[in-house]
Amino acid sequence: MMTKEDLPVLVFATHNANKAAEVERMLEGRYRILTLNDIGCNEEIIEDATTLEGNAQIKARYVKTQYGLDCFADDTGLEVDALDGLPGVKTARYAGENADSSANMEKLIHALDGVSEDKRQARFRTCICLIQGEEEVVLKGVCEGRIALALEGTEGFGYDPIFHPNSESRTFAEMSPAEKNTVSHRGQAVRKMVNALLARFQ
């Protein structure tokens, strides 16, 4: 009888155990998902690419090269049309290297001060780089929406309180995690990866 230790291993290049567990559940027990903590990777992986795809590749290739394990990594960016695509690849560090979500949102709202509601179009993009053996693939998800005039809702994380997906009257922060995952950029990209991985068993 196969135990969890017998399952093929995939490293998720994150320190977030909850994110890893969520992906493991989606993979229906076919893979064992480990985090950077699980493999003893405590060093900082410098993400200095100019694109989301590049940053995801940096993280995944680092794990594959240094630890020899199949892995995947993601990077996400928020692109605001009125700001010529900013904050983009610097989404997590928009208000500075050590800024938190509140500071990032405050800076973004200030940058859009005076911009009318119909001119606040934006989108979230997620890129996942998956490496198995010698094969590398990049999977993407996009969620179109707009930036709210003020914070709305208390769920989620990051920019969720100020992002309205076009398919919803609510912000991400007013939706449950399950509701958000059905429409979100990250949910789309993860589902594409899960489908690709599960297809190997068919």
Instruction: Give residue-wise pLDDT tens across range 93-135.
Output: 999 988 899 999 999 999 999 999 899 999 999 999 999 999 9
- Which is catalytic among the residues 38, 75, 81, 118? 75
Q: What is residue 67's predicted lDDT score, i.e. its pLDDT?
A: 96
If pLDDT is split at 50, 70 and 90, which confidence band does 78 have?
very high
> Is-above-0.85 flag for pTM?
yes
Q: Domain spanning 4-201 has what CATH number?
A: 3.90.950.10
Q: What is residue 201's predicted lDDT score, i.e. its pLDDT?
A: 65
Lowest mean pLDDT among 6-15, 34-43, 74-83, 132-141: 6-15
pLDDT higher than threshold 90 for residue 200:
no
Give the number of other CB atoms < 10 A from CB of residue 152: 16
Q: Do 56 and 79 contact (CB within 8 A), yes or no?
A: no
If pLDDT is split at 50, 70 and 90, which confidence band does 28 have?
confident
Domain layout of the chain by residue ranges: 4-201
> Is 118 an annotated catalytic residue?
no
The structure tokens 């490496």 sit at 131
Q: Where are the alpha helices (DSSP H) in the chain?
A: 17-26, 52-67, 101-111, 177-183, 185-198
Measure the CA–CA gap between 131 and 11, rounded to whole angstroms. Answer: 10
Task: Choose among 49, 52, 68: nearest CA to 11.
Answer: 68
Q: What is residue 156's predicted lDDT score, i.e. its pLDDT?
A: 81
